[in-house]
């Protein structure tokens, strides 16, 4: 049977099932295939907090949302067109994420009595009998049974057989969306290298799923999503935010001619940067898993002091622990990159969920006057650029710098146009040169035009000097309790950070123009969704503009002027209102906060509603 | 290393005073820290260690002001964290000669965790633990090494905590070089510092140091001529454990139990022979920790308790890195950025 | 205590399941944590411990979810800090029965300092250290107890650190009750838990626990029938050290060196007799820490290594406070506010 | 010879000398005597950072400034009328602190060659030859020699003799200011109890100093400062800020019927609270010197969890270390008082100097949305009231609370009208009651009208429950990852803190009236000096008012309205501008910062200049 083909601009699929069901892998494969076919994509994995929550329970549901299209895509999509559920719990959790009238593909075995019980649903429940599903297109497929049948004669045990049922689903969806199987086949061959039986069976099941689509009457139509036309030509890869950050660190060290030392203590969702870096020792990367976050940052500072690019990373609770040491970094004035992959707080909070609620912590979370530059990434691929920029500023301005990311972009992925190392901006460390005895004495706290001090690394002839956390005399760096000197040094440290504003781009509008009625001012991972919402509203003829800040401290020099060009400034944040405090303080404008504190990114529709409200208000 | 250093210093031989900075030394007059500083400077001169290749890293405390007085590189860091700074520094530049200076509060109170992890990882560091059994800089609170019942500013009717035995703790944390010396015996300190500098791994030297302001005389039984003879046991590799004002007493083992014997009755051959490579013996020796005023107290040992050869962390790190480069080739940036899975949009 | 508790519970005898909460247990299926939970609940039932007088305090980690599953008071605190919470709680209410639940990362990595200070202060706590030699909750990085060379998410080509020997460290920190058990031997665990609960002071029980997701089988040589016989040495007070699948091997001391002997050649009378009050012996026993796959490896001991009677901190605190009240009278607020030097403005 | 007596309203004396010279004790004795005579007083001790810096050096100079008068006094005075210097270094450091034309009393032996060398001054220096001293009244007194002569036959060694030379100075000043000796004599008798020789010699020297004043021709005039008329009648004592805070903690626990548990780790300038508390075990106070600041706060939380008043204290660097645990306190919602005695930062900074630079740290220095109420003390005696209020809020609102003090008021002293315990406000802990099995299940996260949850302490029958740092389900407290619940809980935690505004006084003007041109808005330890400056300017007819904020979070409900009543708001702070950020953010007014970052309090004249500038600006 040849199916009818229907063309769509953009499709959102949400794979959901038990953490043991291979949901992330299935989503990842579909993503790779979509990417390789030239679609624009954006993904959003959503894990449970437990390693393996009891099978079949609501707590154990893992999700992977994928948005792909022939048009430009900036978010993983609000609600999905197709919801794939491997069991009852997955439906229970995710039904609200499906568009009205959307498609449900449900694994029948996942709705047996045992699974219904585990999901705390009525044991008599049936999909057919569920009133709430009226208006949706529900397709039950007995994935488990079909997989078992496919592998009846494979000689594999039931457990192993069942483990490949995600391949059936994937094959089926490949058929639905008219995708080729070869990319996943290649992946299977790589993954199970040396285990020919597993290669064979997985491919068999994948194909079985595909053929099931062809044969089964239920889906008369295949959906075609053409390659994205607007995408710049070139070679692409897929990249996850944390991976991009790791690549940026390696690249920056390389471009600056420095060793990379990464001192950290594992914590969700930052650990994957460590995992990625530790696989690249042959790039001269030294990773150090310290005993705690304090040792981690101090080891990184020790490395920086020695002339390496010292980097430390954590998430909220770990960053809190580093506060005292960050104060020392400010006082010592050494290059250091502090990565904060934010998650839901306060305290342990929602470790696997996303939030932007550490901005004020990184801005102010230390004793004394201790200003630190802050750069925030806006998307998975931007994790590369922003982290690279953080390294550049740290090294060239000889200062600790915060790189802010969050669980959403750290785990999300995007296509990324492959860069050449040559194309990356140069980074020039400012090492103090060796001196002879007859030279003038070395002044470790003298400053250049950037107001930064020389990086004088141990082992350099003639530069022996002492530094520490007690207030230092200007120029010499000797201990000084002099009142005026303290005021001078405090102001110099602040001025040095402020001065960075001369070395960063001015704030631009991402969309719209000066004089529009409302400016939406966003930062960090909300970029994609705010961009989408503003774009859609502009297409509807609304007078709304969008600016997205990545340099959180110091702010771009022209930001105040830019903001003054708009009647209203709306600031959506995934927190209880943090950047808005900084903006209101600096510019004394009645910026309007709009907050979501659910451990989840904004939806486009939520934003559009709020924006419309602000547009319509007097 | 000494020879190479002399060349680096363009042949000019350095005196102890060349290792001093121009900063005023700001310890209280009479503080035991002065004598330790002096010995370290002397040993540096003796070995002609390169000032520009040396880094002193300290935490916070009176003792931790030490780096300001050494004409080398130095970092006065934050309270308790010196080992962590040192670990990063050694990891990226194993050519530097790194010394960690710390107090009993700095290393064993707030810094206890870094201290034990440093020991197990065995970074190549020389660690001088200035034990004065008090918090000096904060003006006299008891420390984790203060004896129980100690009356201090924070314990006006006596402290309650059982103190750490720093060397027993260090041995429990798998330290590879464990020694004790005292501020008032420069010769002994010199000998121990020389050995510490030789050891490739974390050389922990506990130094009994008098804080004459807040804990004056804490160690006088061990350091003053009048009492020292009977309370101090100097241990030396391969030598029998002999002590006493007239070297007339020795230590013998009765099963696992060390007992004091009179050399009139027992021949030196029957005494416990010190073996710094024997961990069990070292662990018994670290437990010679009696209050010297109690009846039949064992003497307090000074010297090198234990030495073990074990890989240190930074060497292993560098070896692993080099092996990885050998195996995979020196990482190519373009290849890294490209990754394994690409597609082209035409 | 048991009797009084029953009365408090108004006579109704509690079963193990009465100590379980209504929350779903969320460890991975097959995780060793289940069996520990079950044993603790059984022991609680056996002793009829009062649920309302009991507090479980944990840090962060898979193991640290434990308190949610005990129908007692419970606090799931922050990473590594459980001993500190417990110390405050015991200090103000020494009637509570306080248990600390921790993992190898929680107690020995980030929490190492609180761990050693808790041991020296000897708070009256029962501490269960779930050692799975891995970070479970953060999905599989090596821990301070992982063997060197361990391949994990954060060490894809092998870890470099020399691991801690947790019991040697605990002994070095002057712990007063030091024991080891394993998840897969409920009977042994029961016996150890009962003793731990009896001990007045910090009872440290290291439990080998299988993380079947990230470090499956780490302890199988010690826990599985096939190998256990030759690799495990169960130590019991006053009993000779005998092991072997057929109880045909023993441990003798040759000087300080433990050697394995065949019981065909050596009588049980000549074997090392376990004495849990002997610190030197305990310290040798903690060093039975060979990789079991090496030739001639000593078996790994399980049981109670060391027990010592020593004042615990909170008792001393309360005694001191009471003495102070006796001496000065129960403080009068008005006198306090008035102070010693007043003047009057008329 | 009977001296002429001159009457003055107010006198400022600065005692300065080597740390070994007994300066603090001398100052303290003069203070006690002045207080007992009914003067109003204010003091400012200023120590070196070293325990005993090398004798005679500039680094070793210790100072004690005392302001006393027959009028109301709010500051230790800007510059002094009389500068007492025991050595050359003391003069070198402090000459700038003496009023033009003021009196210098100098110890001759302190200007010998050795001392000049130690002070790094020209060895040929003489006071007579110093041009800069023209216009000052310089009196050399050979204190050392006179003391030695007095005790020639005492049998005491030179060291012991020299140690009593501060008594000579004190005696001399008692004469100058017409004070009786008996208070100090009583003090000497107490201090040297059992050592009759020391009692005798010290009294001899004290009297010798007094008689020297009588005899010596140099001072024909005695100065009389009458008892303060405006001071409220009653019994007074002298109190140091840290001591007052300690007394408040004991009192609050007593009034609430709770144990006091104080878990801390020593740090300057907070340690004296520990020292004071540890002397009061018979008040049921349990002090615990933990291994570090993290253990300190966690032990205090353990105590609070168990039903005691848990308190922890530190200064900046230690507070930074507590950040993660404070987040847990917010999440657990337990009573806890966190004392921050601020000092100069960043990092180790200026440990013995004062600064107000931790406000933003205590406001924001934690991961996630973690609001904590903040109360700041304004003077040494107010350390009592503010700390007591912090305890009240912590206990009655079941929340962690910050109590902010700083080195200046923590070490400074003031007369304090003696309070009766009965006069203190009641504090009522909200313990959850025991339950029987048949009762409804206990809901640890249910809330009362204050939005605070019940304090359910272990050992209470039927309340067994589990709490932790992961997000909690509303009411039950069970772990919950539900998105809406997280938003609800975040807002509830914020609302609970905001709600405290209903239970605190409205903001009042300290001076001036609505409609004045300029409002000076201060907080913390700047109170006295701002009050003085505003008062003087008003007396000069200026349209300037003063409001002083002690409730930093939440702010008093009427503050915004109050601020709107003034053309300009001037905000002096001993930092680089912190409270001003909060005010600008909240109220969008162009508050004008005025900052001093010298580790020293403001001077009245500095403030008056700035205020005048603002008054005169258009
Ligand atoms: C984070 C932090 N906590 C506390 C302090 C205060 N502090 C400084 S040194 C010290 C202890 C000093 O004792 P020790 O390490 O024995 O050194 P010593 O002064 O006796 O040489 C303390 C508690 C600090 N500087 N930083
Ligand atoms: C301050 C802080 N740092 C890091 C983490 C992340 N983290 C949670 S548990 C854990 C280690 C878990 O290992 P272990 O204690 O051995 O417990 P297990 O999960 O193996 O039972 C880490 C690093 C955290 N929650 N908080
Ligand atoms: S306080 Fe003690 S340790 Fe510190 S400098 Fe003075 S004498 Fe030395
Ligand atoms: S990850 Fe390991 S330790 Fe954690 S619950 Fe799963 S099996 Fe247990
Ligand atoms: Mg000390
Ligand atoms: Mg573990």
For residue range D119-157, list pLDDT tens digits in order: 999 999 999 999 999 989 999 999 999 999 999 888 888
**Helix axes of A165-176 and A182-191: crossing angle, nearest 10 degrees:** 160
Chains that touch C (3 or more CB pairs under 8 A): A, B, D
Residue D328 to residue C78, Cβ atoms within 8 A: yes
Mutate to test the pocket of ligand 1, among B32, B34, B106 (most ligand atoms within 8 A of CB): B106
Mean pLDDT estimate for chain A = 94
Cβ–Cβ < 8 Å for B31, B66? no
User: What is the mean pLDDT of the segment spanning A114-143?
Assistant: 92
* pLDDT at residue number A3: 67
Q: Give the lowest-confidence range in A250-254, B226-230, C70-74.
A: B226-230
C281: which residues sit within 8 A by CB, 6+ positions away?
B256, C272, C274, C275
User: Does the structure show a pLDDT above 90 at D64?
Assistant: yes
Of D51, D274, D291, the CB nearest to B62: D51
* Pocket, ligand 4, Cβ cutoff 6 A: A 51-52; C 27-28, 31, 33, 62, 132, 136, 211-214
User: Does the structure show a pLDDT above 80 at A218?
Assistant: no
Mean pLDDT estimate for chain C = 94
* A496: three-class secondary structure by DSSP: helix
Asked whether B132 lines ligand 1 (CB < 6 A), one says: yes
In a domain, C152, yes or no: yes
pLDDT band at B26 (very low <50, low <70, confident <90, very high): confident
Asked if C77 has any chain D CB less than 8 Å from its own CB, the reply is yes
What's the CATH class of domain D509-616? alpha beta
Asked if B252 has any chain C CB less than 8 Å from its own CB, the reply is no
In a domain, B42, yes or no: yes
In a domain, B278, yes or no: no
Q: Give the lowest-confidence range in A36-50, A407-421, B105-119, D534-548.
A: A36-50
pLDDT band at D606 (very low <50, low <70, confident <90, very high): very high
* pLDDT at residue number D233: 87
User: Does the structure show a pLDDT above 70 at C6?
Assistant: no
**Which residues of chain A does D469 touch, with a Cβ-Cβ cutoff of 8 Å?**
346-349
User: What is the mean pLDDT of the segment spanning C96-122?
Assistant: 98
**Going by CA atoms, what residue is nearest to atom 1 of ligand 4?**
C136
Chain centroid, CA D444 distance in Å = 38
Residue A466 to residue B114, Cβ atoms within 8 A: no
The H or E element that residue A396 is part of is: helix A382-396
Asked if A349 has any chain D CB less than 8 Å from its own CB, the reply is yes
* pLDDT at residue number A232: 85
Chains that touch D (3 or more CB pairs under 8 A): A, B, C
* pLDDT at residue number B3: 36
User: What is the mean pLDDT of the segment spanning B137-166?
Assistant: 97
* pLDDT at residue number D160: 86
Residue ranges, comma separated, of all CATH 3.40.50.970 domains in chain D are 237-423
Distance set, CA A49 to CA A87, A342, A574, B12, B49 (Å): 19, 15, 19, 64, 54
User: What is the mean pLDDT of the segment spanning D277-300?
Assistant: 98
pLDDT band at A435 (very low <50, low <70, confident <90, very high): very high
Note which residues in 313-332 of chain B have CB less than 8 A from chain C: 313, 316-317, 320, 323-324
Distance separating alpha carbons of residues A566 and A507, to the nearest angstrom? 14
Residue ranges, comma separated, of all CATH 3.40.920.10 domains in chain A are 4-224
In a domain, B307, yes or no: no
Residue of B nearest to C157 (CA): B320
Task: Please give, rounded to a whole number of angstroms, the shortest distance from the CA of A313 to a CA of chain D.
Answer: 14
Q: Which atom number of ligand 2 is nearest to the Cα of residue A268?
A: 6
User: Does the structure show a pLDDT above 70 at C2?
Assistant: no
Mutate to test the pocket of ligand 3, among B136, B142, B207 (most ligand atoms within 8 A of CB): B136
User: What is the mean pLDDT of the segment spanning B301-326?
Assistant: 97
How many domains does one find in chain C? Answer: 1
Note which residues in 444-483 of chain D have CB less than 8 A from chain C: 458-470, 478-479
> Can you read off the two tokens belonging to residue A460?
């350099």
Task: Please give, rounded to a whole number of angstroms, the shortest distance from the CA of C47 to a CA of chain A.
Answer: 30
The H or E element that residue D148 is part of is: helix D143-150
**Which residues of chain A does D316 touch, with a Cβ-Cβ cutoff of 8 Å?**
327, 367-368
Task: Please give, rounded to a whole number of angstroms, the shortest distance from the CA of A604 to a CA of chain B.
Answer: 28
Task: Decide if the complex's ipTM is over 0.85.
Answer: yes
Counting residues of chain B whose pLDDT is more than 90, the rounded percentage is: 89
Q: Walk across the sheet containing C257-262 and list its strands.
A: C242-243, C249-254, C257-262
Distance separating alpha carbons of residues B83 and B126, to the nearest angstrom? 10
User: Does the structure show a pLDDT above 90 at D55?
Assistant: no
User: Does the structure show a pLDDT above 80 at A191?
Assistant: yes
pLDDT band at B8 (very low <50, low <70, confident <90, very high): very low
Provide the pairing of β-strand A551-553 with A374-376: antiparallel
According to CATH, the topology of domain D4-224 is: Pyruvate-ferredoxin Oxidoreductase; domain 3 (3.40.920)
Asked if C341 has any chain D CB less than 8 Å from its own CB, the reply is yes
The H or E element that residue D44 is part of is: strand D40-46
Task: Please give, rounded to a whole number of angstroms, the shortest distance from the CA of B38 to a CA of chain A.
Answer: 18
Question: Range of C39's domain?
Answer: 16-218
* pLDDT at residue number B10: 52
- Which residue in B81, B149, B160, B309 has the most chain C C-beta atoms within 10 A of its own C-beta, making it the best mutation to test that interface? B160
* pLDDT at residue number B4: 38
DSSP assignment of D128-146 equals TT-GGGTTSEEEEE-HHHH
User: What is the mean pLDDT of the segment spanning A324-334?
Assistant: 98
Counting residues of chain D whose pLDDT is more than 90, the rounded percentage is: 86
- Is the backbone of residue C323 left (phi > 0), alpha (psi -120 to 50) or beta? alpha
> Can you read off the two tokens belonging to residue A367?
């004793």
- Write the pLDDT tens digit of every residue in C257-286: 999 999 999 998 899 999 999 999 999 999
The more confidently predicted of residues D359 and A160 is D359
* pLDDT at residue number D3: 67
- Write the pLDDT tens digit of every residue in D564-587: 999 999 999 999 999 999 999 999
pLDDT band at A228 (very low <50, low <70, confident <90, very high): confident
* pLDDT at residue number C60: 98
User: What is the mean pLDDT of the segment spanning C213-226?
Assistant: 96
**How many H helices and E strands in chain B?**
12, 12
Distance set, CA D564 to CA D294, D507, D518, D560, D568 (Å): 42, 13, 11, 6, 9
Task: Please give, rounded to a whole number of angstroms, the shortest distance from the CA of B156 to a CA of chain D.
Answer: 6
| Superfamily per CATH, domain A237-423 | Thiamin diphosphate (ThDP)-binding fold, Pyr/PP domains (3.40.50.970)
* pLDDT at residue number D2: 61
**Helix axes of C186-198 and C33-47: crossing angle, nearest 10 degrees:** 50
**Going by CA atoms, what residue is nearest to atom 5 of ligand 3?**
B27
* pLDDT at residue number C9: 47
In a domain, C161, yes or no: yes
> Can you read off the two tokens belonging to residue C174?
């002057």
Task: Please give, rounded to a whole number of angstroms, the shortest distance from the CA of C136 to a CA of chain A.
Answer: 8
Residue D282 to residue C325, Cβ atoms within 8 A: yes
Residue D331 to residue A346, Cβ atoms within 8 A: yes
Looking up residue B78, the CATH number of its domain turns out to be 3.40.50.970
Q: Give the lowest-confidence range in A192-201, A403-412, C189-198, C205-214.
A: A192-201
> Can you read off the two tokens belonging to residue D550?
């002690």
Of A368, A481, A490, the CB nearest to D316: A368
**Which residues of chain C does B161 touch, with a Cβ-Cβ cutoff of 8 Å?**
120-121, 313
In a domain, C251, yes or no: no
pLDDT band at A563 (very low <50, low <70, confident <90, very high): very high
pLDDT band at A400 (very low <50, low <70, confident <90, very high): very high
- Measured in angstroms, how far is the CA atom of residue C36 from the centroid of ligand 4? 13
Name the phi and psi angles at D387, rounded to 5. Answer: -65, -40
**Which residues of chain B does C111 touch, with a Cβ-Cβ cutoff of 8 Å?**
113
Residue of A nearest to D361 (CA): A365
Mean pLDDT estimate for chain D = 94
Counting residues of chain C whose pLDDT is more than 90, the rounded percentage is: 89
Chains that touch A (3 or more CB pairs under 8 A): B, C, D
> Can you read off the two tokens belonging to residue A420?
């050449």
* B110: three-class secondary structure by DSSP: helix
Full-model pTM: 0.95
In a domain, B243, yes or no: no
User: Does the structure show a pLDDT above 60 at B5?
Assistant: no
pLDDT band at C10 (very low <50, low <70, confident <90, very high): low
User: Does the structure show a pLDDT above 80 at C1?
Assistant: no
Asked if D509 has any chain B CB less than 8 Å from its own CB, the reply is no
Partners of C51 in the β-ladder: none
A442: which residues sit within 8 A by CB, 6+ positions away?
A432, A435, A456, A462, A463, A465
Distance set, CA D428 to CA A198, D299, D460 (Å): 68, 23, 18
In a domain, B245, yes or no: no
- Measured in angstroms, how far is the CA atom of residue D68 from the centroid of ligand 5? 39
- Write the pLDDT tens digit of every residue in C112-155: 999 999 999 999 999 999 999 999 999 999 999 999 999 999 99
* pLDDT at residue number A2: 61
């Amino acid at each position: 049977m040849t199916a009818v083909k229907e063309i769509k601009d953009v499709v959102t699929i949400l794979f959901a099932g038990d953490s043991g069901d291979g949901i992330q892998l299935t989503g990842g494969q579909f993503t790779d295939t979509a990417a390789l076919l030239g679609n624009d994509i954006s993904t959003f994995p959503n894990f449970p907090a437990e390693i393996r929550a009891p099978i079949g329970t609501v707590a154990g549901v893992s999700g992977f949302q994928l948005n792909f299209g022939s048009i430009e895509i900036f978010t993983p999509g609000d609600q999905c067109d197709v919801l794939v559920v491997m069991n009852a719990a997955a439906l229970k959790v995710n039904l609200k994420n499906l568009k009205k009238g959307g498609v449900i593909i449900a694994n029948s075995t996942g709705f047996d009595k045992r699974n219904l019980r585990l999901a705390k649903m009525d044991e008599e429940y049936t999909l057919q009998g569920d009133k709430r599903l009226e208006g949706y297109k529900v397709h039950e497929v007995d994935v488990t049974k079909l997989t078992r049948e496919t592998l009846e004669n494979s000689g594999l045990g039931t457990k192993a057989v069942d483990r490949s049922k995600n391949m059936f689903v994937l094959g089926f969806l490949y058929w639905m969306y008219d995708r080729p199987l070869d990319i996943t086949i290649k992946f299977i061959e790589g993954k199970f290298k040396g285990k020919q039986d597993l290669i064979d069976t997985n491919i068999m099941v994948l194909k079985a799923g595909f053929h099931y689509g062809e044969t089964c009457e239920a889906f008369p139509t295949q959906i075609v999503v053409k390659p994205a036309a607007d995408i710049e030509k070139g070679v692409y890869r897929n990249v996850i935010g944390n991976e991009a950050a790791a690549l940026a660190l390696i690249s920056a060290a390389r471009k600056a001619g420095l060793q990379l030392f990464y001192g950290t203590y594992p914590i969700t969702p930052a650990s994957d940067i460590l995992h990625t870096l530790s696989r690249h020792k042959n790039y001269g990367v030294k990773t150090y898993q310290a005993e705690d976050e304090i040792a981690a940052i101090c080891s990184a500072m020790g490395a920086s002091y020695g002339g390496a690019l010292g980097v430390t990373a954590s998430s909220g609770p770990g960053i809190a622990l580093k506060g005292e040491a960050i104060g020392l970094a400010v006082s010592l004035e050494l290059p250091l990159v502090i990565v904060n992959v934010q998650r839901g707080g306060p305290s342990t909070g929602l470790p696997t969920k996303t939030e932007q609620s550490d901005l004020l912590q990184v801005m102010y979370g230390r004793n004394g006057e201790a200003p630190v530059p802050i750069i925030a990434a806006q998307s998975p691929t931007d994790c590369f650029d922003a982290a690279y920029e953080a390294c550049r500023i740290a090294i060239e301005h000889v200062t600790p710098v915060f790189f802010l990311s969050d669980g959403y972009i750290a785990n999300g992925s995007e296509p990324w146009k492959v860069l050449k190392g040559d194309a990356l901006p140069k980074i020039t460390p400012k090492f103090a040169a060796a001196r002879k005895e007859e030279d003038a004495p070395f002044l470790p706290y003298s400053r250049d035009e950037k107001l930064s001090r020389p990086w004088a690394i141990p082992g350099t002839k003639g530069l022996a000097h002492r530094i520490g956390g007690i207030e230092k005399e200007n120029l010499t760096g000797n201990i000084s309790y002099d009142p005026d000197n303290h005021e001078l040094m405090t102001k110099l440290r602040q001025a040095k950070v402020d001065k960075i504003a001369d070395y960063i781009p001015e704030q631009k509008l991402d969309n719209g123009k000066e004089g529009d009625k409302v400016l939406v001012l966003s930062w960090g991972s909300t970029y994609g969704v705010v961009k989408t919402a503003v774009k859609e509203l502009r297409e509807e003829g609304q007078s709304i503009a969008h600016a997205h800040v990545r340099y959180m401290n110091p702010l771009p020099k022209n930001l105040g002027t830019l903001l003054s060009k708009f009647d209203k400034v709306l600031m959506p944040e995934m927190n209880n209102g943090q950047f808005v405090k900084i903006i209101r303080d600096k510019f004394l404008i009645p910026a309007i906060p709009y907050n979501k504190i659910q451990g989840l990114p904004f939806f486009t529709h939520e934003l559009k509603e709020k924006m419309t409200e602000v547009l319509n208000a007097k | 290393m000494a020879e190479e250093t002399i060349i680096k210093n363009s042949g000019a031989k350095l005196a102890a005073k060349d290792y001093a900075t121009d900063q005023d030394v700001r310890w209280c007059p009479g503080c035991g820290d002065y004598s330790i500083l002096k010995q370290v400077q002397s040993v540096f001169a003796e070995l002609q260690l390169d000032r520009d290749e040396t880094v002193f890293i300290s935490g916070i405390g009176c003792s931790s002001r030490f780096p300001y007085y050494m004409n080398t590189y130095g970092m006065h860091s934050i309270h308790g964290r010196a080992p962590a700074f040192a670990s990063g520094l050694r990891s990226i530049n194993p050519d530097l000669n790194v010394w960690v200076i710390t107090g009993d509060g700095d290393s064993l109170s707030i810094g206890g965790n870094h201290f034990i992890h440093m020991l197990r990882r065995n970074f190549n560091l020389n660690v001088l633990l200035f034990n004065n059994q008090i918090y000096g800089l904060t003006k006299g609170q008891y420390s984790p090494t203060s004896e129980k019942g100690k009356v201090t500013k924070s314990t006006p009717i006596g402290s309650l905590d059982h103190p750490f035995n720093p060397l027993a703790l260090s041995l429990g944390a798998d330290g590879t070089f464990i020694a004790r010396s005292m501020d008032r015996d420069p010769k002994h300190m010199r000998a121990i510092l020389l050995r510490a500098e030789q050891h490739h791994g974390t050389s922990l030297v506990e130094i009994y140091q008098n804080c004459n302001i807040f804990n004056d005389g804490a160690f006088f039984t061990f350091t003053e001529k009048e009492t020292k003879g009977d309370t101090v046991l100097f241990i030396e590799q391969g030598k029998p454990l002999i002590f006493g004002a007239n070297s007339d007493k020795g230590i013998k083992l009765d099963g696992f139990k060390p007992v004091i014997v009179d050399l009139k009755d027992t021949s030196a051959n029957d005494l416990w022979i010190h073996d710094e490579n024997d961990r069990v013996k070292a662990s018994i020796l670290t437990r010679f920790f009696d209050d010297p005023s109690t009846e039949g107290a064992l003497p307090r040992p000074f010297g090198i308790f234990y030495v073990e050869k074990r890989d240190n962390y930074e060497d292993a790190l560098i070896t692993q890195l080099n092996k990885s480069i050998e195996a995979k080739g020196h990482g190519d940036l373009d290849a890294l950025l490209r990754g394994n899975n690409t597609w082209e949009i035409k």
